[in-house]
Structure 1
Amino acid sequence: MTKTNDKKTAQQSYIEWNVDFSEPVTIKGGSLPYSDTPMVGVKRMMFERRGDEVARRATSCVRYAPGSEFKPHSHPGGEEYIVLDGTFSDQQGDFSQGWYVRNPVGSVHAPFTKDGCEIFVKLSQVPAEEEDYVYIDTNAATWTDIDKNHQQLQLWSSSVEDTTLHRFKEGYHSQSEEFQDVVEIFVLSGELSINGENYQHHSWLRLPAQSSLAIDVHKNSVIYRKVGTGEVRH
């Protein structure tokens, strides 16, 4: 049975939170609160976490109030994020809504925002041998047409993961597709059904290997999909 998390459970502990890849997890948009971080003006909605403030693995949405910032810090396990709203900035530049950024193991930055922003971010899930920085403006990138109602954009591909964005038009329907590895989905926008359950923006799902997915789209939607755990191998 799929496990659905509520607000009370989410606030109990960040030490071991949704880190068992053999268990399905579904979190519908709006079902979890944003909680304070050690930085003033920065809040997060936690989907999975292993470890405390120096996380050994984490997936979350992070909101920055206008004028807020994080102190300079490193990412021992790398970092990837998508800007959902506003403009997220650091020493590498300004990244507005739609940018995908992947920073390698050991990267350092001091993020901030002038007018406020929100990002979907994954920490400590980049293998040590992947040394490249990746910057993709998904608004300007060339998407691949899968059919008249489905486009795909490759964000990253390796032997341990396949990470893509998918655009679906209202009315899209897929046949059930089985995945041999763990599959993770985050809904950036729209409304769709996955295996008969409805999900809107800010919904997050992670299903174990050998799971099947069937998608029906009720409103134009964009989803992030990662196949493979991206576990760090040091």
Structure 2
Amino acid sequence: MSDTKTASQGYIERNVDFSVPVIIKGGELPFSDTPMVGVKRMMFERRGDEIARRATSCVRYEPESFFKPHSHPGGEEYLVLDGTFSDQNGDFSKGMYVRNPVGSTHQPFTHEGCEIFVKLSQVPESEPDYFYLDTNTATWETMADGKRTLQLWQSSLESSALLDLPAGFNSDVESHSDVNEIFVISGQAIVNGEHYADHSWIRFPANTPVQIYSVDGARIYQKIGKGEVRT
């Protein structure tokens, strides 16, 4: 299910109703052009124009492409899915998780090309610091059901983590008191009986029962909570 409203001057409302499920299977949603040559994005969730009040997307940069300098009034967080993403704060290769605070400014670029999973305007003002986590060298936790988990961020507003599901994984049915968002990074996950390949994005309303399987293994991003909500 998807709700999309496009108004004049580039304003978009897409999948901003948290009371309904959103299911986007990998391959169903194309990458679309941005104002910058060589930069494309797959928009899962968006409210606003180029200065989004809220957004969740995958963004691809071709080699030697860049984005013009810009600020993030509501902060930014991203996970590097491929290649190396750079700005004045450093070079961030595949597996890096970054949170930039409210009001931060940068000019992204890449030499080799890259892809990031990025969320805009969901960081609260109460988090004033930059945060960097290399998921390749961080300590993962192995759970009793066999999956490995790595906490990316934990606060009163959200809990986000990476989950590595082994082949044959079969979870219990779980229900959370807040929104449950899942992005399939690699492999294939079976969620409530439906198959989801990489680049699938699913968001369930609060209190939705969810069961996850994986036949051959998968890595997924999961966020419980809406993060900061700006209107």
Q: TM-score range by the shorter chain?
A: over 0.9
Matched with 1:79 is 76
Aligned residues: 229
Q: What SS is found at the alignment partner of 1:170?
A: coil
After TM superposition, give the deviation of residue 149 of structure 1 in Å: 2.5
How much has 1:71 moved relative to structure 2?
1.1
Report the Cα distance in structure 1 between the residues aligned to 2:130 and 2:210, rounded to whole angstroms. Answer: 31
Per the alignment, residue 227 of structure 2 pairs with 230
Tell me which residue corresponds to 1:95.
92
Name the % identity.
64
Runs of 4+ in 1 over 4 A off after TM superposition: 9-14
Partner of 1:216: 213
Compute the displacement of 1:192 (Å): 1.3
Once the two structures are superposed, residues 13-43 of structure 1 have per-residue CA deviations (whole angstroms, 9 ceiling, x without a partner) of: 7511100000100100110111100001000
How many Å apart are 1:75 and its aligned residue? 0.4
1:176 corresponds, among 173, 185, 200, to 173
2:164 matched to 1:167?
Answer: yes
Q: How does 1:63-142 map to 2 (within 5 A)?
A: 63-142=60-139
Alpha-carbon distance in structure 1 between the residues aligned to 2:157 and 2:212: 24
SS at 1:212 equivalent: coil
Output the CA distance in 2 between the equivalents of 1:177 and 1:161. 17
Matching residue of 2:58 = 61
Q: Using a 3 Å threshold, how does the CA distance of structure 1 residues 130 and 158 change in structure 2: closer, same or farther?
A: same
1:233–1:188: structure 2 CA closer, same or farther, 3 Å change rule? same
Decide whether the 8 Å contact of 2:2 with 2:14 is kept in 1: no
Q: What TM-score does the superposition give when structure 1 sets the normalisation length?
A: 0.94
The unaligned stretches of length 5 or more in structure 2 are none
Shift of 1:122: 0.3
- Residue aligned with 2:102, SS: coil
Distance of 1:184 and 1:14 partners within structure 2: 24
Say which is worse superposed, 71-80 or 146-155, in terms of deviation. 146-155
The aligned residue for residue 19 of structure 2 is 22
Match of 1:201 among 198, 201, 226: 198
